[in-house]
Amino acid sequence: MMVARQSAGDLATAPPVRGEGRRGTQRSERPRHEPIRRCLASGERLPQDRLLRFVIGPDGDLVPDLTARLPGRGLWIQPERALLERAIKRGLFARAARTSLRVAPDLVERVGLALRRRCQDRLGMSRRAGLAVAGHDKVRGLLDKAAAAVLLQAADGSPAQRAKLRNLGLGRKPDLEVIELLTAAELGDALGRSPCVHVALLPGGLAERVVLDCARLAAFEVQHDADTPADNQRLAPVATPTIERLGKDDDD
């Protein structure tokens, strides 16, 4: 399966995408009063929840702050692996902070894992709020009634089963958000259950946050060269492995 993953800049400006090939996430309208920040690496000015925030810790370490709540001056960058690598390589964080700082050798990987975990945590919040439904039959029921706002499907699930529910959902609700990013084990872990392939979210603020968090993760995981101009890296296709399954993908 090939997944087109958008950068943060594309997500902020691109029009909604519809139809069969729509696998990623689209822009949600943001309040006009939302703070605008400048990306250190690209120079683009974007709403802050479409960027990643970093601060300098008490010991002089560069610390990722995905919740944007840690004290200290924020250093912002678009959620793209190549841009973060570029900022580290060129010392852009130290230059912006006007001080020396330490960058952990595995910082980029740690940020990727933290973004993935944040998507799972947000799904867990949706489950506790009673806004998440898992399992083939239950999800199908919501899609058939056009009651779901978001459909999440495991990236390693059966392509045939995913396509059936995706087509049903988009047929009933053309603006359905379809996300195929996390694995079945990750979806199950987020919901406190065994691995599952299909999850549907009811409309609301939590569903919107899941879409935004998944968009940041998808943008971060695009594979490209850190020294290639950012404008030439947008919408880079990424191959995602799939696992063929027999029968139903998961149980209710």
pLDDT tens series, the chain, 252 aa:
223 333 333 443 333 322 333 333 344 444 457 799 999 999 999 999 899 999 999 999 999 999 999 999 999 999 999 999 999 999 999 999 999 999 999 999 999 999 999 999 999 999 999 999 999 999 999 999 999 999 999 999 999 999 999 999 999 999 999 999 999 999 999 999 999 999 999 999 999 999 999 999 999 987 544 444 444 333 333 333 333 332 344 444
Q: Write down the architecture of domain 2-28+109-239 according to CATH.
A: 2-Layer Sandwich (3.30)
- Per residue in 97-118, pLDDT (tens digit) is 999 999 999 999 999 999 999 9
Strand partners, 127: none
CA separation for the pair 178, 246 (Å, rounded): 23
The per-residue pLDDT for 13 is: 35
89-125 exposure pattern, b = at least 16 Cβ within 10 A, e = fewer: eeebbbebbeeebebeeebbeebbeebbbbbbebbee
In this structure, what are the phi and psi dihedrals at residue 178, rounded to the nearest 5 degrees? -115, 120
The per-residue pLDDT for 222 is: 77
Strand partners, 132: 201
Please, are residues 76 and 112 in contact by the beta-carbon 8 Å criterion? Answer: no
CA separation for the pair 12, 31 (Å, rounded): 13
| Secondary structure (H, E, C), the chain | CEEECCCHHHHHHCCCCCCCCCCCCCCCCCCCCCCEEECCCCCCEEEHHHCEEEEECCCCEEEECCCCCCCCCCEEECCCHHHHHHHHHCCHHHHHHCCCCECCCCHHHHHHHHHHHHHHHHHHHHHHCCCEEECHHHHHHHHHCCCCCEEEECCCCCHHHHHHHHHHHHHHCCCCEEECCCCHHHHHHHHCCCCCCEEEECCCHHHHHHHHHHHHHHHHCCCCCCCCCHHHCCCCEEECCCCCCCCCCCCC
CATH H superfamily, domain 36-104: YlxR-like (3.30.1230.10)
CA separation for the pair 103, 61 (Å, rounded): 6
Please work out, in degrees rounded to the nearest 5, the angle formed at the alpha carbon of residue 221 by the alpha carbons of 216 and 226.
110
CA separation for the pair 93, 86 (Å, rounded): 10
The residue extents of the domains of the chain are 2-28+109-239, 36-104
Asked whether the domain spanning 36-104 has the same topology as the one spanning 2-28+109-239, the reply is no
102: tokens are 């330490």
- pTM for this model (two decimals): 0.76
CA separation for the pair 122, 131 (Å, rounded): 11
The per-residue pLDDT for 7 is: 35
The answer for residues whose C-beta is within 8 angstroms of residue 244's C-beta and 6 or more apart is: 158, 159
The per-residue pLDDT for 31 is: 47
Q: Of 118, 117, 114, which is closest to residue 104 (Cα–Cα)?
A: 114
The per-residue pLDDT for 235 is: 30
